[in-house]
Amino acid sequence: MPESDADLRAASETAVRQCLDLQPDESLVVVTDDKRERIGEALYEVAGEVTDDATIVRYPPGNQHGEEPPAPVAAAMKSCDAFLAPTTKSLSHTRARGDACDAGARGATLPGITEEVFVTGLDADYDAIYDHSAAMLDAVGDADELRVTTEKGTDITFVRGDREWLADTGAIAAAGSFSNLPAGEIFLSPASATGTYVVDGTMMPHGLLDEGRELRFEVEDGYVTEISDDDIREQVEAAAEEVGDDAYNLAEIGIGTNVGVTDLVGSVLLDEKAAGTVHIAIGDDAGIGGDTDAPLHLDGIIREPTVYADGEEVDLPQP
């Protein structure tokens, strides 16, 4: 059921005025596509009430998360002070987004956003999200190894190397800063990883997995070596035809810190932020501190994990 104009406006107010803290003398670009136009227009309308230099650009939806947008879209992102990108396929891990932030633009991507997730996810206590994220960074940030286990078979160890944990808190007022919206996670592109992880929450293209359904992945020396699911395996194999083994890169370990997300709904964007969950991704990590360029970034959410930092169990935030 479509959300009301009033609800879309309220969520847009949070994004533009609170998270982005847009100023009257700044330029803003809303990047959207044909399937997310109503959300894009709501953001553009609110931005236009703050600044006279607001623009909206729209293009056909991409084919894969992490696929680069058209060159004119990338140029618009790089030349503005701030951007918001509600799109069907994620721009988070693209050169276009990274180049924009390197040039000083700040902004947020809203990959795969739906009107329901937009309204629900932006109705959050972002001060609490910041505090929980800071606490998790204190707990794991300096650890050389992070181990994740679950009763369903996950047992995987990540090596930090010289990589740094990053936080996605929704606070994007500083030049060059970046966040997903809705926000609420800390994440690392590990130097390496070995073990098994079992996704029992949400993962595209399936969305929210039925109870009892599990997707199993084997990882060795930082690369995924076995994928139990045919659809996901085919996506990775297709990407491998373009970039080789980089498509199998173990790209990310993330910990959700948004205590306002009480249930998984089938949206990776929202579900990976759920407090008490872990997510692990395959593919591109160049936009999050790694060095692998790949045309995909596939997150899988894991319920009820136990996390150890250098052998010590970590208390995860809970909804």
Confidence (pLDDT) at 64: 82
What are the beta bridge partners of residue 106? Answer: 82
User: Residue 1 has which token pair?
Assistant: 């059921």
d(CA 246, CA 284): 8
**pLDDT at 1 exceeding the cut of 60:** no
**pLDDT at 299 exceeding the cut of 80:** yes
**pLDDT at 123 exceeding the cut of 90:** no
Nearest partner of 307 among 294, 298, 316, 299, judged by Cα? 316
- Given the candidates 3.40.50.9100, 3.10.450.50, 3.40.50.1820, 3.40.1830.10, the CATH classification of the domain at 5-122 is 3.40.1830.10
Q: What is the pLDDT of residues 230-282, one digit of tens each?
A: 999 999 999 999 999 999 999 999 999 998 888 999 989 899 999 999 999 99
Computed over every residue of the chain, the mean pLDDT equals 94
Name every residue whose Cβ is closer than 8 Å to that of residue 241 and which is 6 or more positions away in sequence: none
In this structure, the dihedral spanned by the alpha carbons of residues 201, 203, 208 and 212, taken in order and rounded to 10 degrees, is -50
Q: What is the pLDDT of residues 155-208, one digit of tens each?
A: 999 999 999 999 989 889 999 999 889 999 999 999 999 999 999 999 999 999
Domain residue extents for the chain = 5-122, 124-314
